[in-house]
Homo-oligomer: A and B are copies of this chain.
Amino acid sequence: MLTSACRYGVLAMIHLARNVDAGFIPVRQIGNDLDVSNPFLSKIMQQLVAHDLVVSLRGPTGGVKLSKSASSIVLNDIVEAIDGRKMLESCVLGLPGCGSNAPCPLHETWTSVRTDFCQMLENTTVATLAKNTDEQGLRLVPG
């Protein structure tokens, strides 16, 4: 459903939202906190920077931070930045050209399920995820 790069991106964004008061946070520190490889996470953060979800600063005291309020960033922003839109448009049976005018046997059913998923992505803000994580003691790391 989501690539691992995308999953790491979501975890990093939640982490940034929970530490927004810290200003710029080094990518290495985020990787250590989340137990994600630093070079891989670097690449992912670059994509988030390119899509203006995150701003970065080089040099000492540098790092990354959210470009805007966590309540104005939804999951779908992150997914589109990293995975693109193909998951949102592809046929569940992989038939090229599948659509409402040339549907596959699962088209209607699948469209309904996918719509629910997309609404979840659109309606869930990073701020909400961060808040839930704090209040309910949820996990961002393996265990």
Which A residues contact B (CB, under 8 angstroms)?
A: 1-2, 4, 7, 10-11, 14, 92-98, 102-107, 109-110, 112-113, 116-117, 120, 124, 129-130, 132-133, 136, 138-143
Contacts and interface: CB of A to CB of B under 8 A. Distances in A.
B133 A7 contact: no
Contact of A142 (B1, B4, B95, B124): B95
| Copies of chain A in the complex | 2
A14 B105 contact: yes
Given A105-B132, A120-B109, A120-B113, A4 B94 contact: yes
Given A104-B138, A139-B102, A10 B109 contact: no
B116 A129 contact: no
Given A113-B116, A116-B116, A117-B113, A140 B94 contact: no
A115 to B, nearest CB: 10
Given A1-B92, A11-B93, A124-B109, A103 B138 contact: yes
A17 to B, nearest CB: 11
Given A4-B94, A116-B113, A140 B104 contact: yes
A129 B105 contact: yes
